[in-house]
Structure 1
Amino acid sequence: MKWITKYLFLALMLISSVGFAQSLETKIDTVKNKIGAQFTLTLKVKGKPSTLVTFPNVNHFGGLEVIESYPIDTIKEETNYQLIKKYGLTQFDTGKYVIPSIPVLIDKKPVFSDSIKVEVFDVKVDTLKQKMYDIKPIIAVERPMGNWWKYLLLILLLSGIGYAIYHFWKKTKKPSKKEEIVYGSPIEKATTLLQELEKKQLLEKGEIKEYYSELTDIARDYIEEAIEIPAKESTTSELIVALKNASNKKKLKLSKETLDGLEQVLKQADLVKFAKSKPLDFEIADDRKKIENTIITIDKAIPVVIDENSVQWQREQDELKRKAEKKKQFTALGGIIGFAAILVLTFVIVTKGLDYVKNGFSGHSTKELLNSDWVKSEYGNPSVIIETPKVLKRMDVSQMVPKDAMALIKGMQMFGYGSIFEYFYITVSTTEFKKETNVDLSKALEGTVKTLEAQGVQNMIVRQGEFSTEQGIKGIKGFGTMMVQDERLYFEILLFSQAGGLQQIMIVHKEADERAQKIAERMLESVELKLTN
């Protein structure tokens, strides 16, 4: 029984080892590092799609501080999955430290990683041999153009929309009786109102009562304003008497025929309004003529007297006319400006797309790029052949490569279009080494990610997979999302190691931009590598 128990125990240990211990792999990028530098600890778990894995979320591993807990990467391997979790560790005191065994829960059972010894050493600085330099002077930075033109275009656009609404409202609104109309004199007002009365075609509509009511009101208003007697509140008889008295007092030369004609029309209007009388057509036309003659006769009979009140009234009328004309001109100018703004906006939407306008007229128009004449070009050495919507321009890489790395590089070239901070970016870079080098593409991808983070990119989520060109040349593809100035961007990075060099293509654009996605797909499908002999 003892040997059975012994072998049963060993069998269980073996099963446990195969099921759990062998599925957790521990790796660190270096065991010696400078003070304050980062150790990258990697934990890999292999399992089935149904395997539940939980990595620890702590601030310290032994004496090392966790400064970065990277997102989990998932790689599919036939029927299984590989989960990769990375931690960035550091220490600001020199010495030897141990990263202890770390518990990882696999299907709720703890599996421990390998413990690793690391060393943190100080950086020696020889201050006697170090050159000293003067403080550099202040460099004047060219002031950017700013966004004032965007606000100007917005003002023009709002002006155009406002004018269009006003013009539509003015056309559809009903004229208000209280709306003030400026007339130069009482006779001008009366003759204008008589012309407008005929345009209303009240007689053709059978509205005889309304016609006579407006006709006599025009005459009464004129008499009250021109001669200053209460014509509106007087009966027909009272008005004729008041006219005769005013004729004597103010020396108006009004004939008996004029007064009798006015009296006849006013009495006829009373019969129409109160007795429902219906004059014949020629009688109506004759009454209209009598009213017009009476107004003209009274106007001619009024003696010309320079009255200070009249002069002041005329000045006020002239001022009102001037303001009305100025308002009319301003409205017309606003209409022209607004119409021009609408034309500009329409042109921008048609050529650059609605997304470009939504983004505040900033960034790159992916609609314009997608529909442009694409260019197929060859870049760098070892060269990359790719089709792009615009020709990529050479970039200065002298400040991008560290001095210690330059000792290994024979030549590096970079070409680009746009900028990450403009939310659309294309780069193609090629690196030629002095000696044939077996490049670790995964580490090269990590270096690119760190470079982006150093430029201000945040919350990068990176996934990695394989990539092959149409010629069958294999490389890797890094893809994912990142945050730049509160904007979520999507990126794709291709890496190849051909002809003893490194080739990299990177495309960055807004995550939800469908046109940008089509641009990226077309570019990646066109990638070719020209190998040197």
Structure 2
Amino acid sequence: MKLKFYIFLFLLSSAVFAQQKQIETSVDTTKNKIGTEFKLTLKTVVSSKSKVVFPKPKTIGSLEVIESYPIDTIKKNDTYELIKKYGLTQFDTGKYTIAPVQILIDKKPFFSDSVRVEVASVKVDTLQQKMYDIKGITIVDNGIGNWWIYVLITVLILGIGAFVYWYVKKRQQKKIEEEVYKTPIEKATSLLNNLEKKELWQKGEVKEYYSELTDIARNYIEEAIQIPAMESTTSELIQGIRTASTKKKMALTPETVENLERVLRQADLVKFAKSKPLDFEITEDRNKIQKVILTLDNAIPTELPTEEDELLNEAQRQRQIKIQLQKRRNKRIALAVGTVVFLLAATTTFFVATKGFTYVKDNLIGHPTKELLEGDWVKSEYGNPGVSIETPKVLKRMDTEKLLPKETMALLKEMQLFVYGSMIDNFYITVSTSKFKNPVDIDLAKALEGSLKVIEAQGGQNIIVKQEDFQTNEGITGVKGYGTMSILNPNSKTSTKAYYEILLFKQDQGLQQIMILHEEGDTYANEISERVLHSVELRKAAN
């Protein structure tokens, strides 16, 4: 009720009653250049049961009909207001009369008023105007946006991850069966050969060489003789071998045990005392370990395995192969995923550092007004007198009879309202046109004040107002009000800081208003507002 009260007060100061004809005739302008469109508008108000037929002429008088626009229907209580527009033009200069047009209402003919128009020539002055060079070719943006860049980067990163997976798998050409050994001696012999291929001590890595050499020997002893060799000191290990030799009746010579002990103590000196044996000593130690392992293996009493044992061992071997294969596969997947994650993180960090966090967030997660800005825009004409404007979305016509009280509507000859969004949305725009019944001198400053009172009634708070003159591209002047306000969300009870711009124009008992409202600091919304306001074109009101 408060909103209706403010609107009523605003309109009451400049509106009176008037009588309406059966057919109302108007043109957007009475003077135009050659080939430019005159827009003839015919209006009539009929009952809901009446049948109205508008003609489809190719010419009206001496003017050519270049377009017959669809009929616009507005329901008012039990009546309908029908609006029909014709686009007319003439390619010869002179003064012409738009002849009356016959409209059939319930099969009865009614005629529109004749209108005098003038077609003027275009002045071309080649002497006074400056001459300029021919401009070069301008590259036009294809308009597809930058989304393909992000898709390409994502595909490239995924491709790199797939390549890493394939490359690691390719590097694992050696069959996994070779790493699952049937016996401890087979494992020890293979590991000794692999150790020699690494050429560690030749590269100066003597400590690493002795560490691997003794680990091979200790692992063999632990698996073959069941002695905790990996956890034992050198003395404990030698004592354990002697005890096991007696218990298992192993035929070991003192020389074999002494050679093993000598190599183990040499390794301790290399690892802990930083001893550096000579090259021939290293070779001898390697040969001693190999000989000790072979001697121990020959000394261990052997038992012929049964068929069941062989089947069990083969099953265990196959199970080990599957486990190793799964580990390799998991390793490849982890490496590929890690590469992709690293590249994504590196790419994101690069864009954050160069473009800023907001840029990355808006392009990855999305932003409502950014999508509006980069979407398909629509240019259309709204209301009467017409307001031609370009917007991200088509504005929706609102039923003013439901928004305004009957007392207020009675003071208006005509009012139309078109809206996109709402005051609590990311972007809100309204276009309204109204015509008053009585001649009045409209004060745009007071009209702006009335509009702000309406906004205040809808939840606007702490409104800061700045005012300046505004001029369209056609030179029509009006008033621009702009500033900030706080908007209370009735649902969440939270307050949002918003920026608004209001344009007001007056023409022959008519008022045209454009309002834009969005969150303060939204750069995308600022670009939308600038583009919308730059596109504003006004039709001159017809009497």
How high is the TM-score relative to the length of structure 1?
Answer: 0.49
